[in-house]
Structure 1
Amino acid sequence: MLRLYYYVILLFLGLSNARRFPDWLVDKVNNASQIVYLTDSNELLITNGLISRRFSFKANSFSTIEYYSHEKKSSLLRGIGPEAIVKLNGITFNVGGFIINTHGAYLNRTALNEAKPTPYPRRFTYTHYEIKDPQVPFPYSPRRGAPKDIVWPPMGKRLDVHFVRETVLVTVHYEIYDGIPLLVKWVSISSTRPTEYKLDGVVVEFLRLNMQWASPTMEVNVYSPHQGSKGYGWLDLETDEIHSSSMDWSLENQKNTPGSFQPRVVVSYKSLDMNISLEKMSIFESFKVHELLVGSSDSERKGLARKRKVRLLAPHTQENPIFFHMTSFDSKAIRNVIDQMSEVGFEMLIYSFGSGFNLETSDLNVLKKIKADVSYANSKGIEIGGYDLIALSRHVGKDWMATPEEESACFASDWTNYLFNKIFNIISYTNMTMLETDGPYSGYSCNSLKHSHHVNERDSVFWQSFYQKELYTLLRKKGIYINQPDLYFYSGGSKTGMGYNEQQYSLPRWIDMSVSRQGMYDDLINFIPTQGWMFVPLEDYQGGGAAAAFEPLKAHAKEYEWALSQYLGAGVAACYRGTRLYDSPATKSIVQKWVRFYKKYRDILTSDTVQVRRGDMQSLDSLLHVNPFSKGIKGLAMVFNPTSERIQDELILPLYYTGIKDKVLVSLEGQEFRPYTLDWDFEIEVPIDLKPISVTWILIKDS
C-alpha cells in the first residue's frame, strides 16, 4: 500500500529514476496539485509532489493518517487526532478523527492498518467532500512595480470536507498550491437555526508531531539526563489572525503510553469562551493556518520559505512605490514638491502626520482642495494618500471608547461605522489611492454592553479584529495602497514598519543610519523588501534636533546620499519626511542617481535577500538580493564601508539561492562582467577596495 502511494508521488514528480529531489527554492517545480481518491485503500490524497496529506474514511469518519514531506522523506505524524474541535453552547465536539490504541511516541502503521478505530463519542458526523479551486479574499492585478507575472488566485487545489450535527454544518477547508510545500487550513460553521447556537471556540488544527517537526522552543524527553532534546522547527506555522489566535505547543503525556512525552500543537482562538452568535453571520469563517513544511532548521532557508509564501498569498505586498511624507498641507508647497518628485522619479506623496491633513474632514472646501492637489499630482504620474490615527491611543466620543482600556477606540462600536464612512467618502471624492492607518486595532478587549458590533468582553476581541481586517480588505478591493504598523498583510495591508523603533530617528544622522541598517538587515531575514518601510527625518522628528535632521540637505549631502543608497539598495521604501526632496542641483543629482539605480534594477532589488555580513561599523557589511528565476540579473550585492579607513578585502558571496550551478559572471557597478567558478559551497570571493564612508554594488548573472 505505502509502496504504491510513494511510487505514485515519484511518478508525479518525474523522479522514478532517483534523480536529485528538486529544491523548490531554486528550481521550478511545475507539477500541478492534485486531490486523488485511492480506490484500493479507500483513502483520499491531497498532494503537490513536495508534500502530501492522506485521509482515511475509517470509523465512518474523516481523519488525517499521513502528513508527509517528500523532500525530507519524513512523516510529521506520531499519532492521530481530530481535524478540528468546535465548542458550541459550552459543549465541545470533535470534528473528524478517530480513536486508536497505539503507543503515543510513534505511529505504528501496521497497527493502524489492522486496527478497527472507534469514532469520538461527542462528534460531528462526516457527510461528504468537494474539490474546488483556491479561494481569494479580494481580486488583484499587479501594479506599482509589482512583478507582472503574479498569478492570482494562486494555482492549486482546495478540498472542502463537510460534517454535520443536528442543524449545524462544519466544513474543514484545505488548500494546497503548486510548487511550494504549503498547506492552508481553516474551518467554517453555519446553522439552519442560528438563533439556537453560540460559538465559544474553534480549534482549527490539532497535530501530534514527531520531534523534528516541533517548535525549537520545545524540549522533548525533559526527564532525560541530558535535559531533553529541542524540536528542530521543521514545520513553520503562522495564522492570518493577528491578535486572537493561539499556537499552543505542549508535551502530551498519555497515561496509557508510559515514557511518551511527545510534542503536539493546537492552533485555536485564544479564547474558548467567545460567545459569538451564529445569527450574526450567515457563515462563520475561522482564521487560516499556514502550514509550511520547510524541513530545515536553517534560519536563511526558513526565511526564504516564509518570503515565498508571502509573495504567493499576499501578492499586493510586492508593490513598491517610492513615496514622500509631506509635512505641509499648503497647496503651493504640495505642488512644489510634486514637481520635484516628478523631476527625480518619486511616485507617491503621503500627507504626513502633523501636516494639517485631516482624513475625517467634512469641510467641502478642504475636500475640493485635496481633490485639486490629487488631480495635479496624477497629471504628473504621482499618487496621493493620507495619514490617520484610527484606533490605538485614539480618544473619540465617550460612547465609542474601549472600556476599561479607555485609551483607545473600540473597533466594534459605532466608531467603526463613522470611520468607514469617512474613509470611503474622502477616497471616493478626492481620488486618493493610498491610506496610512496609524494605530490599527492591536488586540485589546472591551467590556462595554452598549456597543453596536459586540455583546460584551467575551466576543469583543473577535469582532474588533473582524472589522479591522474588513477595513483593509475593502480598501484592497478598491486598489488602495495601505501602510499599517501591524501585520495585516493577508487582509490587504501593503507595508509595515521594518527594523526600527521611533526613538532611533532622533539619533545623530550617522548613528541613526547605522542602527537602522542593522535592524533592516535583521528584519529582511523574514520580510520581503517591499513589506516594510524605514524612515529618513529630513526635518526634526521627535526632538532629535539639528544633529538628527537631514535639512539643510546640501549641508548634509553625504549623509543624504548614504541614506538613499542603503534604503533603495535594500529595495526598501523609506519615509522621506519633510517639505522638499532637494535644495540644490547637487542634492537633486544625488536623488536622481539613486532613483535611477533603483528603477533600473527594480526587479532584483525587490527580490528576496540572503545575509552576507551584518554591519558592525568596524568593517564591510553586505546584503545580497537573489532571484533564481530571473532571466537576467540573478543577484545584486550592496556593499558598505561605514568606517573612516579604506578597506581592501575579499568578500565571500553565498550564491546558492541565485540558482546558478557552476559558472557565474560578476560585474562591479555595471562594468564589464568577469567569470568566476563557484566552489563546492556555491560561494565566490570578490575583491573589494572601498574608500572610507562609501558604497558599491555587485551584479551577478549566469554565464
Structure 2
Amino acid sequence: MGITIENNKIKLMNEYILREFDISSGPVSTAYKIRPHGLSRGDAWIPVFSFEPWLPFEAAVTVNGIDYEAGPHKQTKDWDREGAFDVTRVEQGKGVYGDVLKLYCRGRNDQVPGLELMIEYEIADRLPLLSKSVRVSNISGEAIVVDNVCVDIARLFEGKLELAVFSDYYWDIRRDDPYYFSFTRFEFPEKIGMELKPGESFETFKCYEAVTSGDRDEASIILHRIYKELAPWIAKPLIKHIVNSCTAYEELLEVADRASEDGIEAVELFVGQLFTNTGDYIPRPDLFPNGWEDMKRMVDYYHAKNIAVLPYCSTTIAWPDSEVFIQHADWQYLGPEGIRYNPWGLGNMCYQSPWGEYIEGKLLHLLDDIGFDGLGLDGPYHRLPCLADDHKHPNSHCVEYMNWLWEKSFFGEITKRNKIITVPQEMQSMFLGAHQRPGGYREEDQNAMGGMPLVVTTRAYTFDSRYKDPACATWTSCNLEEYHGHSIEPSETNPATYDHAFGGVFGYGHCGALYGKHLYYGDVTRAIFRKWVAFFKKYRRTLAGEMVHLARPNGFEPDAVMHVSPNAEIPAVLVVFNPVDEEKQIALELPLKYAGFTGGSLVNIERVGSIQLDSRGHGIVRLNLQPFEILTLAVESDRPTASA
C-alpha cells in the first residue's frame, strides 16, 4: 500500500484505489481502478478505463488557445496527439493524509512554452481518497499567459462509476473533453488568463477523487466523513443565536446573560447592530460612546459568560452611504458597459483593488484587537466580472481565480487563529476554512410564507440538502422575528409550530441559526426550547456524524431522519415528525449498519425495545405518532446485563 517506484514504473495504492504510471515517455496512467467497500469486495477492482491502454494525459496546460499535454509521447487508437512534456524529476514524501508523489515535467522541445508542471498526488492511508494538484512555473525568460490548467481526466460513465470528483474551487471543475470522447476533464471552468513573469508560479485547486457508492445515502455518508477529515473545524458547531434589535449597550449585555442561562454557545450580532454601516466598520456611537474601548468591553463580557461572539461583516460589501464607498467608488467591480453592482444582493467591492488590503485589515482588527471569536460574513465573492484596468488583475479573465485565491488566503489567516467563519458561500469553502454555510433553506420562502407552511417547507429543503454537505457544516433558518416579512409565528397558544421549527433545527443536527431578540415567550415555549437545547447537547457527537434520509417532509405525512456516528456513545438517533393534527403511523427501515452495527445484531430502540437486524444490518420499526408529535429515539446495542 502507499507508493512504490521501480525504475519508470510507479504504483499508488490503498484499500480502495489503484493507479499505475509509466513515466518513460511522458507521464501516463496505465491503470486506474477502484474498489468500492474496500477489502469487503475481495480482490475485485472496477476499471476507470478499460479499452484504452492508458489515460489520455496526466495534466494539461493551455497557452494561446493550444493545449500542451503531459501525457504519452505517442498515442494509439484514434488519438494522434503527442505528449508535450518529459518527466525530469520524481519525488516521494509524506503528506497530511498519506504518501505523496511529485512528478516534475518540462517541455520536450522548443515548441512547448517554457513552463514546468509539478503534478502532485496524495494517496490517503485510511480514506478512499486520491488528491491531485498542479503547480505551474515559468522557467523561461519572458512572460507567459496561461489560459487554463487541466488537473486530471477520467471517464465517469455518466455517473455510473462509484467515483466522486470534487475540489476546493468554488465552481464546477468538470467539463466534457471535446477531443477525447467520453472523457471528463477537471479544470478551471473558465479561462483564467494568469500572467506569469519569469520565475513566477501558481497552483491550481485541489482535485479530490473519492471512491463512494451507488446508493445515494451511502455515498453522502462516505463523502461527509471525508469532508470532516479534510476540514476538521466543521465538526464542532456551537448553538447560535442571532440578534440585531438591541437599542442600548445594556441590552447587548442582557443578551449575553440570557444566552448563558439558556445554554446558547455563540451569539452573532447581526447587520446594523454594531457598526454605523457595512464598509467603514465604525462602532455605533449610540451604543458605544467610547468607540472600540466599549466594544472590546462588551466582547470581554461575553467571554466572561463563556459565550463566543461574532460580528456581522462582509468581505465584499460597502454600503453606498459608507465613507469608503463615497471616497473610493473605483474599488468596486466594473461590469460590462460600465455597470456597477447592488451591494445588498451581490457584494460590490473587488478584492484586486485596494479594497482587498483595506478590508482584510479591518476584519483582522476585529479578531486580533477587539477579540471577536470569528466573523459572520455576508456577501462573499459571487463570481462577478471586473473590467477595471487599474486593479491588480492584469485582465478580466483572471478575476475569478484571483478572487478565489484572495478568499483562500484570508480564510487561511482566520483558521490559523482558530477563529470561526460562517459565510453564504459555495460548499467548497469549507475546505478553505469556513465552518458553516446555509443549509438548504430559501429566503424566497421566507418572503412568501410563515408559520407551519414555512417550517415544513424549510425542513423539506434542508432534508434534500443534507445529501450535499453535513448538518454540522451548515445552518438552517429559524426566524422568531420577521425576516423578509415573515417568521415561524411563535406562540404560547400554538406551540406545535414552535416545536417543529426548533425540531427542524436541532433534530436535523443543526446548531442554529435562531434569529430574534427573544428565544421563547412564556413557560410553554421555554420548556420546548430547553428540551431541544438539551437534546442537541446530549447527542452532540451523534448529530455531528451523518444523516440518513428515511422519509422526506411533505406536510401531510410523517417524515423522518436518522443520525449515525459509529464512534459516539449513542451511535444512532432517530427523529420522526408528525406535521398534522391527527394520529399517524409509519414503518421505517433503519440501515443501522451506518451506525456500526453488524448483521444479526440486537439493538435497543428507546421506547420501542429490542429488535434484531437482518444480515445487512437493517431493521424495521413501526411507530404511532400523536398529533404534531416529534419522536426522538436513541438507538444502542442491546447488550445483556451482567449478572450479579
Assess if the C-alpha contact under 8 Å between 1:328 and 1:579 holds in 2: yes
The one of 91, 104, 108 equivalent to 1:130 is 91
Paired residue for 1:572?
Answer: 510
115, 120, 123: which is aligned to 1:173?
A: 120
Matches of 1:180 and 1:214, distance apart in 2: 23
**Offset at 1:44?**
0.6
Unaligned runs of 5+ in 1: 1-32, 105-117, 135-152, 217-231, 254-261
Change (3 A) 1:102 1:679: same
Answer whether contact 2:195 2:394 (CA < 8 A) is retained. Answer: no
Q: Deviations over 1:476-522 (max 9, x none)?
A: 11112111111211111111111211022342211111001111111
Aligned position for 2:557: 619
Shift of 1:82: 1.5
Cα gap change, 1:375/1:392 in structure 2, threshold over 3 Å: closer, same or farther? closer
Cα pair distance change 1:574/1:194, threshold 3 Å? farther
Partner AA of 2:472 in structure 1:
T
Unaligned runs of 5+ in 2: 37-43, 284-288, 342-347, 639-644
647 and 97 in structure 1: CA distance in 2 versus 1, 3 angstrom threshold: same
Residue 99, structure 1, aligned to residue 74, structure 2: yes
State the distance in 2 between where 1:37 and 1:489 align.
Answer: 34
Kept in 1: contact 2:142–2:197 (CA 8 A): yes
The one-letter code matched in structure 2 to 1:675 is S
Give the alignment of 1:102-251 within 5 angstroms.
102=77, 121=82, 123-134=84-95, 153=96, 155-165=97-107, 168-193=115-140, 195-207=142-154, 209=155, 213-216=156-159, 232-243=160-171, 246-250=173-177
Which AA in structure 2 matches 1:475? Answer: I
Going from structure 1 to structure 2, the CA distance change for 1:393 and 1:264 (only over 3 Å counts) comes to farther
SS of structure 1 residue aligned to 2:92:
strand
Equivalent residue number for residue 141 of structure 1: none
Find the residue that maps to 2:351 and give its secondary structure.
coil
Provide closer, same or farther for how the CA distance between residues 664 and 525 of structure 1 changes in structure 2, counting only shifts above 3 A.
farther
Taking the aligned partners of 1:190 and 1:354, their CA distance within structure 2 comes to 45
Match of 2:373 among 425, 429, 433: 433
Taking the TM superposition and a 5 Å limit, the aligned residue runs for 1:87-486 are 87-88=62-63, 91-102=66-77, 121=82, 123-134=84-95, 153=96, 155-165=97-107, 168-193=115-140, 195-207=142-154, 209=155, 213-216=156-159, 232-243=160-171, 246-250=173-177, 262-272=181-191, 274-279=192-197, 282-294=200-212, 296-329=213-246, 330-357=248-275, 358=277, 360-362=280-282, 365-391=290-316, 396=325, 397-404=328-335, 405-407=339-341, 408-451=348-391, 453-486=392-425
SS state of the match for residue 463, structure 1? helix
Q: CA deviation at 1:198?
A: 2.3
Shift of residue 103, structure 1, vs aligned partner:
6.6
Contact kept, 8 Å, 2:29 with 2:58, in 1: the verdict is yes
Aligned to 2:23: 57
Native 8 Å contact 2:244 2:271 kept in 1: yes
Contact 2:575-2:631 within 8 A present in 1 as well: yes
C-alpha contact 2:140 2:198 (8 A) present in aligned 1: no
Q: Partner residue of 1:515?
A: 457
> 1:358-394 CA deviation, whole Å, 9 max, x = no partner?
5642458332222111101101110100112432696
Q: Residue 533 of structure 1 contacts residue 575 of structure 1 at CA under 8 Å; is this kept in 2?
A: yes
Question: Counterparts of 2:177 and 2:145 in 1: how far apart (Å)?
Answer: 28
Shift of 1:468: 2.2
Say if 1:664 and 1:677, in contact at 8 Å, map to a contact too: yes
Shift in alpha-carbon separation, 1:674–1:478, aligned structure 2, 3 A: same
Give percent identity, aligned residues only. 23
Native 8 Å contact 2:442 2:458 kept in 1: no
Question: Which residue of 2 is the match for residue 602 of structure 1?
Answer: 540
Cα deviation for residue 439 of structure 1 reads 1.1
- State the match for 2:61 in structure 1: 86
Q: In the TM superposition, what are the counterparts of 1:18-97 in structure 2 within 5 Å? A: 34-38=2-6, 42-59=8-25, 61-71=26-36, 73-78=45-50, 79=52, 80=54, 81-88=56-63, 91-97=66-72
Q: Hey, what's the Cα distance between the residues in 1 that align with 2:67 and 2:119?
A: 16
Deviation at residue 305 of structure 1 after TM alignment? 2.3
The alpha carbon displacement at 1:693 in A equals 0.6
In 1, are the aligned partners of 2:57 and 2:83 still within 8 Å (CA)? no
- RMSD of aligned C-alpha atoms? 2.5
- Contact 2:584/2:626, CA 8 A, preserved across alignment: yes
Q: Is the 8 A contact 2:566 2:596 kept in 1?
A: yes
Q: 2:594, 2:543 → 1: CA distance?
A: 15
| Residue number in structure 2 paired with 1:108 | none
Q: Bigger CA drift: 508-517 or 198-207?
A: 198-207
Evaluate the alpha carbon distance shift between residue 176 and residue 420 of structure 1 in structure 2; reply closer, same or farther with a 3 A threshold: same
Counterpart of 1:491?
432
Structure 1 residue 422, shift from structure 2 partner: 0.7
Residue type at the aligned position of 1:501: R
Contact 1:613–1:622 (CA<8 Å) still a contact in 2? yes
Q: For the structure 1 residues 613 and 121, does the alpha-carbon distance in structure 2 shift closer, same or farther, using more than 3 Å as the test?
A: closer
How far off its partner does 1:678 sit?
Answer: 1.2
Matches within 5 A, 1:623-638: 623-630=561-568, 632-638=569-575
**Given the two structures, how large is their TM-score scaled by the length of structure 2?**
0.87
Whether the aligned pair in 2 keeps the contact of 1:664 and 1:700 (CA below 8 Å) is no
In 2, Cα distance between the equivalents of 1:484 and 1:610?
25
Residue deviations 1:640-668 (CA, integer Å, cap 9, x gap): 11111112443332323222122232232
Q: CA deviation at 1:431?
A: 0.3
Please report how far the alpha carbon of residue 267 of structure 1 lies from its aligned counterpart in structure 2 after TM superposition.
1.3
Task: Select the structure with the greater relative contact order (CA < 8 A; seq sep ≥ 6).
Answer: 1
**TM-score for both structures, normalised by structure 1:** 0.80
1:486 maps to amino acid: Q
Cα gap change, 1:484 to 1:132, in 2 (>3 Å): same
Q: Could you say what secondary structure the match of 1:324 adopts?
A: strand
Residue identity opposite 2:385 in structure 1: S
Equivalent position of 1:16 in the other structure: none
Task: Count residues in correspondence.
Answer: 596
